[in-house]
Structure formats: structure tokens, C-alpha cells
Amino acid sequence: MTELAETQINQHWSDIAAKAQSGDAAAYRTLLSDLVPVIRRSVIKSLPNPQNADDVVQEVLISVHKALHTYDPKRPFMPWVQSIINFRKTDYLRQHYAQRENMKLSLDDPDTPDYLVISGHNGSTKDIEDAFDALPDQQKKVVELMKIKGYSAEEVSKKTGMSVSAVKVSAHRALQKIRDRL
């Protein structure tokens, strides 16, 4: 995202928040509705059970409502709302882990959190091997030396005769290809 676009987005948030502060219900509805995916995206990775994300989303919305008077429209909106999100998320996690049963994990039947499973993918290392095999030979060699054997870019450069920047670019492109394939 360019700096200009980011500034415009920030300005948009600040504008609708200022309108909400002045009592504009339509702007307030837009603000809260637009915030829902932002909050959800922000909390979902940190929760032990992503199904509970909406509970936190609701808590955050209520907190935004209660703290609306503390927002200064001259300042950016996102840091303000992000600090509320972090606060409520921490609160939620504290309560969650305070319950004894949430601290236990059965080893007989471990529940893999949903976010660790990519839908439509069986999660097998075979897929990674296949993606790796599909790489061109040079990229395969670079990835093997840098990411599997742990050589530095300079060392790989000496071994392969490529320049250091070419090694870095090659490694980056190779990982991107593996990621796309998975």
C-alpha cells in the first residue's frame, strides 16, 4: 500500500469516527461495520479457538462505544482502536486460561486448531517435497544450501559462483514458488 493510500484510509477512519462522535448514527454504523473484519483479522491468530473470535469482536465493539469520547479526531484512528483490540484480546485470553480445563491438552486426542490446517490441503510433508522438487535446479540448490543446510548467502555465493544478491533473489523466488504451490 502506498503512503498516500494509507493516509487516505486513515483520514477516512478519522472522518467517520468524528461524525460518530457528533451523533451521526449512519456514520457510526459504517464505522462499526467496517471495523468488524479489521478486529476479526487482528484477533483470530492469537486465539486458542478461532471460533471465539466473534466474542472478542463483540467485546471490542462495545469497548469502542464506551470509549468513543476518548478518541481525538486529530490523531490517527487505527492506533487508538488497535490498543482497545489488544486490551480486550488480552483480557479474553487471561479469562480463558484462568479456567483450569482450558490449560489442559489431551495427548490421546489432540485437537489441532483450525488455523493450523489449510483447507483443501492434507498438511503432508510430501507436498512440500513435491513443491521443492518442482523448482529449477539452481533455485533448488540455493534453497537446499541456505534454508536446509543453513549456509549464509555469502557462503552459498562462493559455492555456486553466483553473486550474493542473485543468491538472495533466487532464494526469495524459490520460497515464493513453494508457497504458491502449497
Partner 1 sequence: MTDNDIDKTIDKLCDGLKPVKPCCPTRNGLLWILLVVCYTSAVALTIGFRENIAESMGREDYVFEIMLAFAIAISASLVTFWISIPGCDKRKKFMPVPLTLLAVQFAWMLERLYFEGIGDIRENWLSHCWMNTALHTTLPALAVILLVRKSGATVMPCWMATFALISVTEFGWIGMRLVCPRDNVGEAYLLNFLPYVVLGVFLGFVAKKLFRW
User: What is the nearest approach in angstroms of partner 1 to the Cβ of residue 75?
Assistant: 7
Q: Is 92 in the site for partner 1 (CB under 8 A)?
A: no
The C-alpha cell 492506533 sits at 79
Q: Is the backbone of residue 142 left (phi > 0), alpha (psi -120 to 50) or beta?
A: alpha
Supply the DSSP symbol for 88: H
Mark residues 48-87: x for contact with partner 1 by CB under 8 A, - for none. Answer: ----x-xx-xx--xxx-xxxxxxxxx-xx--xxxxxx-xx
User: What is the nearest approach in angstroms of partner 1 to the Cβ of residue 57?
Assistant: 6
Q: Is 98 in the site for partner 1 (CB under 8 A)?
A: no
Mark residues 26-45: x for contact with partner 1 by CB under 8 A, - for none. Answer: --xx--xx--x---------
In whole angstroms, how far apart are CA 144 and each of 55, 117, 162, 176?
A: 44, 26, 15, 15
User: What is the nearest approach in angstroms of partner 1 to the Cβ of residue 160?
Assistant: 45
Size of the site for partner 1 (CB under 8 A): 37
User: What is the nearest approach in angstroms of partner 1 to the Cβ of residue 22?
Assistant: 5
Question: Cell digits for 125?
Answer: 510433508
Question: Cell digits for 47?
Answer: 486465539
In whole angstroms, how far apart are CA 136 and each of 98, 124, 152?
A: 51, 22, 20
Q: Which is nearer to partner 1, 85 or 156 (CB)?
A: 85
Q: Is 106 in the site for partner 1 (CB under 8 A)?
A: no
